[in-house]
Every structure is written in C-alpha cells, then in structure tokens.
Amino acid sequence: MFFCVPTIISNTFSIKSTIFYFSLSLTFLYPLNIIYSQNTDKQAFVIKSFYDEALEKQYSYQWLEFLSEKIGGRIAGSPQSLAAVEFTHQVLDSLGADTVWNQACEIDYWYRGKAEVVRLVGHAEYGDRTLRALALGGSGASPNGGLTGEVIEFKSLDEARAAGPKIKDKIVYFSRPFDNKFFKTFHAYGSAVDQRAYGPNLASKLGAKACIIRSMTGRMDTFPHTGGTLWEDGVKPIPALAISTIDAAFLTEAIRKSPAKIYVETHCENRGKKISYSVIAEIKGSEKPDEIILVGGHLDSWDVGGGAHDDGAGCVHSMEVFSILKNLKYKPRRTLRCVLFMNEENGLAGGRTYAEISNKNGEYHFAAIESDAGGFTPLGFGFDADTAFVKKYSSYFSQWDELLSPYGLKLNKGGGGADIGPLKSQKGILFGLSPDSQRYFDYHHTAQDRIYTVHPRELALGSAAMASLVYLLDQIP
C-alpha cells in the first residue's frame, strides 16, 4: 500500500497539513516493517522448535534401525520389501495422518539366488585367487557349473566398441575408477557409472560370456558394490558382476603381467512381474488443500546390507517430518504428503505410477522434497523448477537464508530426485536434500549399508531440515 504527500498546498492547506499527511504515511509504513520482523522472528522460533524436537526424540533412528536390521535388504518384490510396506504404513498411521494408503505399482522382481563366485584361475604368477564380487541387479545366470573365459580389459565403452569381434567368447572387464578430483562425490560417481549401467549390455551384444566391472566407489576397500544394469530388448542378460576396488586393482595388475582367465558363477533369476506398493500418508491443508507439498524417499533397497543410507534414511526423514509437525501441533495451510516410493533402484515404477495417477487426478504439487543421498549431516537443498516458478518465488528463497544458515543449510540450483522427477510436468518446484556426501559411496549398494554407519544426530538433523523447508514453503502466501 502506498501513501502520497500532497504536492499542491493551497491557502487552506498549510505546511502543518503537509506534515500531518507525511506523518500519517510513516505511521502506516512503520508497522509493516515491524510485522515483517516479527514474522521472521516467529519463523526462526518455529524452526528452532523443529530441531529441538528432532534432536531430542530421534524417532527416525529408531525406525531406521527396524528397517535396516529387523527387515534388512528390501529389493522390490521381495518379502522384505512387503514387510517394509506394512511397517511404515503402521508407523505413519500412528502419527495421526488424515489418511494413509498403499499405491500399487507393477515391478520386475529380480532375485540374486545363491552367492556368486568370481575367481582368477591358473594365472602364471598368482595361480588361483577368489575375487570379492556381487552380481549387478538384472544380471543373468551362468550355465550350471559356471563358466570360464579369458579376461579382456577396457577403460571405457568406446574402447570396447572399437574392439568389436575380439570380445566374442571373452569376459569383458571395465576397470575405469572414480575420478576423485571431483569435490562432489556424485560427480565422481557420474564419471564412472556408465560402465555399470550399459557395459554388460554392450558386452553381450558383442558376444562376451560375462562382464565384470570395478565397483562404484572412490575408496580402496574389499567391499563389492552392486547396482542396476540395463538391457536392451532382445539382448540376452549375461552374468554381470562388480568386484571390490582392491580386487579390481589386483586384476588389472594380473592382466598386465600375463593373460588371465576368470571363473564366474551366478544364480540370478528374473522372476517376472509382481505387484508392489508405495506407501502414502496425507495431512489435508486448511487453506490451500489443492496445493500439495510432498516429502519422500524410496522404500526399496538392494538385497545386500540393510539399505540404511540408501534409502532407509530418506524414508525415516520424511516420516519424521510428519511426526515433528504433529507433535508441535502445526496446522498446514497446504496439503502435506509423505510418499515412500517403491522400486527406485531397479525400475522407478513407484515414482512413475505416482506421477501418472497424480496427473490423471488433476493434482498440483506446489513442491516436492526427496531425500535420497544418505543420512549424513545435511548441508542444504538443491532445487529445480520451471523458470516462471523460480521468477515468482525466488525472493522468498533469499529471505530464507538467514533462517536456514544457522543450521548450515544453503539453497542451490540443481536438485530434485529420481522418484519426484516425473512430477516436473506439473511445474512446481523439486528439491533434493543435500547431505555431506564424502562417505556416501563407501557404503552405497554394499553389505556395509547398515545402521551402524548412521549417526543418530546426523539423521535427526536431516529430518529437522526437511521439516523446516516444508514449513517455509507452506508459509508462502
């Protein structure tokens, strides 16, 4: 609201009248500044109460311990994944959500089977040596009794393509390591992961018997890392495995010294289509119920370890957001949803199905926040949105700096998550929680991804950070 001082002063309009109008304008303007200051003070107090609640109660750690240690690895379609659906549904129901439901999605159930074997055999210098390995998700099975073949090493997919016919009947080995010069470990992951995602498919097309890759981590250790691999229609899935980084370095050295043969044994099965479920809880908004703010993670994990960081942490973060808001009696203006997606690791069926149904129902997600980068100390949020959305609301983001910075949080461009990615067509804003990632790929997709690698305080900080962002988004007029 604007107030103008008269510019024309008649005989009856004295200088005192001018001063009166000018003083009146200041009287109206001054309280606006006070109100803004009071509102910011209130928001700071509310955010502090979120952190107090999360750090004192630490419910997220209790729930994560059950998911990781009592249920364990939860690959989509497995009995463990269904147990996780039941457990999280019950917890969300107990938190006082208005409604909780399971949303069906169709997944491909891949089963690892008996433990895999990878062994260097008859090497001129090293003889026989077992290499620590895990089959990749989607791997094919070896023939009964396993298979043996000469190993041929490549640093890239292009090198393998150039080799062409030389690959036939060989075992292809992709050995490119993480590029550790990247400060952001997800960039290092991106620099190497193409060989896991597409390498086995290429090897099969070129006639290879099997494919081995160096594990996706920048650390030298003895733990192999599984993960998904993709097959084109009509390409036969061959045995596809990752070996630990220490074993990968050893295999490279063995090949350099003398031709090397490997024995491979896998017992993987694709058990076909199954129905699984994402778990959804909702608190209806009091003023803008048709605008949805979503928090979520993915409920499935790989079948080794306990899926504590990937992505049990994201699920309990999202559940604890509801717990914090309910315990502090916060009444949301917009509708809040907690969505625990199924099948992110090897298909994304939960995320795609959720978006399809949401679009069909004409819903609008004002914002969606995904936690899928571990339970370490949160450093902020990355965001991705339609340009018009950012232009309209970016002024609020800058105002939030003073509220979030005391907790070490920053907002940066570039973010979101795989499960909420399909919601981008609704032109809201997508956020991804950004924890400290320096240790994340030490545990990612391994048998080490267990509760003992998660610190209760760091986990609780992630819940409080997400609750704070939900609150600030909900307060936007």
Letter for the amino acid at 462? G
CA dist., res. 42 & res. 48, Å (int): 10
* DSSP β-ladder status, 269-283 and 288-298: unpaired
pLDDT band, residue 409 (cuts 50/70/90): very high
Classify residue 269 by burial, with Cβ atoms within 10 Å: 0-12, 13-18, 19+: middle
CA dist., res. 311 & res. 418, Å (int): 12
- pLDDT for the residue numbered 288: 97
| 416 against 40, higher pLDDT | 416
CA dist., res. 401 & res. 328, Å (int): 23
Q: Minimal CA–CA distance to 390: which of 429, 446, 362?
A: 429
- Average the pLDDT over 40-53 and give the result: 95
Q: Minimal CA–CA distance to 247: which of 221, 210, 219?
A: 221
Mutual orientation of helices 313-327 and 456-475 as an angle, nearest 10°? 60
Alpha carbon of residue 354 to chain centroid: 16
Q: Minimal CA–CA distance to 454: which of 303, 301, 308?
A: 308
The answer to whether 283 and 335 are in contact (CB under 8 A) is: yes
Token output for 180: 């550790």
Summarize pLDDT for 352-390 with one digit per residue, the tens.
999 999 999 999 999 999 999 999 999 999 999 988 888
SS3 assignment, position 49 = helix
Q: Give me the residue label for tokens 């003023």.
A: 287
- pLDDT for the residue numbered 176: 98
Mutual orientation of helices 456-475 and 15-57 as an angle, nearest 10°? 150
- Average the pLDDT over 94-114 and give the result: 97
The answer to whether 136 and 201 are in contact (CB under 8 A) is: no
User: Residue 173's beta-bridge partner residues?
Assistant: 153, 212
- pLDDT for the residue numbered 25: 39
On the question of pLDDT at 18 being above 70, the answer is no
- pLDDT for the residue numbered 38: 55
- pLDDT for the residue numbered 107: 98
Averaged pLDDT score across all residues of the chain = 92
- Average the pLDDT over 68-87 and give the result: 98
Q: In degrees, to the nearest 5, what angle opens at C-alpha 171 toward C-alphas 189 and 269? A: 75
Q: Minimal CA–CA distance to 317: which of 137, 463, 125, 146?
A: 463
Domains of the chain: 46-110+272-475 (3.40.630.10), 113-267 (3.50.30.30)
> What pTM, to 2 d.p., does this model score?
0.91
Q: Give me the residue label for tokens 């625990």.
A: 340
Sign of CA dihedral 425, 106, 189, 438: positive
Token output for 470: 């939900």
On the question of pLDDT at 31 being above 50, the answer is no
Letter for the amino acid at 70? K
Letter for the amino acid at 386? D
Q: Is 427 left (phi over 0), alpha (psi -120 to 50) or beta?
A: left
